[in-house]
Amino acid sequence: MGIIYFLLLSCLGLAIAAPRRNCGSAGEVENGHIDYSEGTEFGDKIVITCNPGYQFIGKQGPRGMVCGDQGWMGKLPSCKAVTCDPPPMIVDGTFSPIKETYSYGDIVQYSCQSGLTLNGSKSVSCSDDGTFQPAPPTCIMVQCKDPDVKNGEWVQGSRPPFGYKATVTFKCRSGFIMNGESTQTCEINSEWSPGLPTCEMVTCEPPPTVAGGTLSPSKDKYVYGEVVQYSCEKGFTLSALKSVSCSEDGTFKPAPPTCITVTCEPPPMIVDGTFSPIKDTYTYGDAVLYSCQNGLTLNGSKSVSCSDDGTFQPAPPTCIMVQCAHPGIENADWVQGSRPPFGHRATATFKCRSGFIMKGESTQICEMDSQWSPGLPICE
């Protein structure tokens, strides 16, 4: 403990007794700069740098000088303007301007013989270190192969030969879809960029199925242009077009139909008759029964039904008055049957008087046409 105290005290005493040497200013550096940020006392270091476009002779970079007990140690360096030797020549190309020596910041431009493309920086400049930067370019022949896109065609752009930056735009034939970029550019490496597209045949996923109907043909995949036909079960009708086809965008068009239940408008009214039930609309299979006013006979089908074409079938009946004439047969007597008036299905049976013989049928029925059937007999 005592020793540390002693050392501390003697250090303090020394500092007070002998102040550090101060080297002061190191002088002037023309076209350069001195950094005194450490200070100028014994052991401090200054850093000397040249202004842009100037450099120390021989060696580059900042230089340091230390403050010693005799003052700054060493000789203050001087900064000279940077000069560059001509940049390198390149194969199949040249540069300009051509001079013996260039000063800092001078720019030279490279160019290639015609038909060749500069790969790299066109211009280089005389930089701080007395060399041209960046590295000189090279002259290369850029030529992209004739682009071959199967099932595709050239739409617009350059024509062969395809040099640097030539562009070509493709389109796929109809029914093919493009995978990749339609426009390609010939790059410095003689390759098309971003890479030739391909044209793939359009296929469609199966179209939607419909309730109450079927589609044909039924497959896992369809190709462009393929047609699918829809049909509905009996009693259903298609809401839209029957067929759809696989279109360019890979979907079936137009939208598929649906199968909707067939409905019928009410069947026709008939003269002197009616039908039942009476509704606003009927669905497939609904039947109505016709009837005639009293005394009239239904001629035709009593029952008609809503059929798959949306109409009632068969045709409605008519109501007619059936009345057969009073049957008068010479030399015959009425035996039995209906009483007048003789309506539909009225019967009459006759017998010939003695001495007469019947030709024809003895029993006659009054038919729809108001005639006796099969036809009144005669007694001979």
Ligand X SMILES: *[C@@H]1O[C@H](CO)[C@@H](O)[C@H](O)[C@H]1NC(C)=O
**Could you say which residues in the range 154-173 bind ligand X, by CB under 6 A?**
none
**Could you say which residues in the range 90-119 bind ligand X, by CB under 6 A?**
119
Report, in Å, the least distance between residue 141 CB and ligand X: 9
Report, in Å, the least distance between residue 196 CB and ligand X: 18
Closer to ligand X at the Cβ: 188 or 368? 188
Rounded to the nearest 5°, which phi and psi values hold at 355? 95, -5
Distance CA 329, CA 348 (A): 11
Position with the least CB separation from ligand X: 119
341 preceded by a cis bond (ω within 30 of 0): yes
Report, in Å, the least distance between residue 138 CB and ligand X: 6
Reported for 151-160, long-range contacts at CB under 8 A and 24+ positions apart, including other chains, are 151/176, 151/199, 151/201, 152/176, 152/178, 152/197, 152/199, 155/182, 157/183, 158/186
| Residue selected from 183, 189, 243, 281 as contacting ligand X according to rule CB under 6 A | 189
Closer to ligand X at the Cβ: 121 or 127? 121
CB atoms within 10 A of CB 335: 11
Query: In the chain, how many H helices and how many E strands?
Result: 1, 42
Residue pair 258/211 in contact (Cβ under 8 Å)? The answer is yes
CB atoms within 10 A of CB 306: 24
Closer to ligand X at the Cβ: 188 or 378? 188
Closer to ligand X at the Cβ: 53 or 120? 120
| Residue selected from 188, 260, 358, 368 as contacting ligand X according to rule CB under 6 A | 188
Rounded to the nearest 10 degrees, how much is the dihedral formed by the CA atoms of 72, 73, 74, 75? 10
Report, in Å, the least distance between residue 118 CB and ligand X: 9
Closer to ligand X at the Cβ: 123 or 336? 123
Task: Confirm or reject binding of residue 183 to ligand X (CB under 6 A).
Answer: no
| Residue selected from 48, 67, 84, 140 as contacting ligand X according to rule CB under 6 A | 140
Closer to ligand X at the Cβ: 118 or 210? 118
Closer to ligand X at the Cβ: 142 or 296? 142
Report, in Å, the least distance between residue 108 CB and ligand X: 18
Structure token pair of residue 60:
């580059």
Closer to ligand X at the Cβ: 34 or 188? 188
Residue 369's region, left for phi above 0, alpha for psi from -120 to 50, else beta, is alpha
Report, in Å, the least distance between residue 92 CB and ligand X: 12
- Reduce the DSSP state of residue 29 to 3 states and report it: coil
The secondary structure element, H or E, covering residue 11 is: helix 2-17
Report, in Å, the least distance between residue 139 CB and ligand X: 10
| Residue selected from 120, 206, 273, 341 as contacting ligand X according to rule CB under 6 A | 120
Closest to 284 measured CA to CA, from 237, 213, 235: 235
Distance CA 246, CA 44 (A): 87
- Would you tell me which residues interact with ligand X (CB under 6 A)? 119-120, 140, 188-189
